[in-house]
């Protein structure tokens, strides 16, 4: 039991770190918002640092509300399957959770307005979720496989 919990915790941290690193390439909406109005202009809605704060908060919310649950559920659903089959399940769950989060909770707007933001989060999250699946399949052996370093009983 401890091994399973440790494997999932390690996978969560690895995928969260990779998700954060994907935000080194800023999304288009952040680039459009930054510099749209000079910082000293009194008509500016928010100071420029708030755009970067929104990125950080969005990353954390996506990690906690979408990435971790989809990683846990997808690897659980794919526990007796290959890593490739599990990886198909994880983004499928993440896609639904991301759409629900953006459309219902954040009130982004109609589906046509949600789609570009959804695609951005899914592109960033897919790399990180692949690391989640890879690490859990590496650390948690499936049926008929033994953990690395353990010899088969003779």
Helices (DSSP H) in the chain: which residue ranges? 2-22, 28-33, 48-62, 68-77, 83-100, 111-139
Name the pLDDT band for 17 (thresholds 50, 70, 90). very high
| Confidence (pLDDT) at 64 | 92
Segment 22-73, tens digit of pLDDT: 888 888 777 776 666 666 666 666 667 777 888 888 889 999 999 989 988 8
Rounded to two decimals, the pTM is 0.74
Mention every residue, 6+ apart, whose C-beta is less than 8 A from residue 96: none
Range of weakest confidence among 6-15, 42-51, 74-83, 106-115:
42-51
């Amino acid at each position: 039991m401890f091994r399973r919990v440790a494997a999932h915790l390690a996978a969560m941290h690895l995928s969260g770190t990779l998700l954060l690193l994907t935000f080194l390439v800023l999304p288009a909406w952040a680039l459009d918002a930054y510099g749209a109005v000079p910082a000293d202009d009194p008509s500016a809605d928010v100071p420029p640092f708030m755009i970067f704060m929104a990125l950080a908060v969005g990353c954390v919310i996506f990690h906690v509300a979408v990435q971790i649950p989809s990683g846990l559920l997808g690897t659980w659903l794919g526990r007796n399957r290959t890593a490739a089959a599990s990886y198909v399940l994880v983004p499928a769950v993440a896609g639904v959770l991301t759409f629900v989060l953006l459309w219902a909770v954040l009130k982004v707007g109609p589906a046509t307005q949600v789609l570009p933001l959804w695609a951005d989060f899914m592109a960033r999250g897919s790399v990180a979720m692949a690391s989640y699946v890879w690490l859990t399949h590496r650390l948690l052996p499936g049926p008929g496989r033994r953990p690395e370093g353990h010899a088969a009983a003779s």
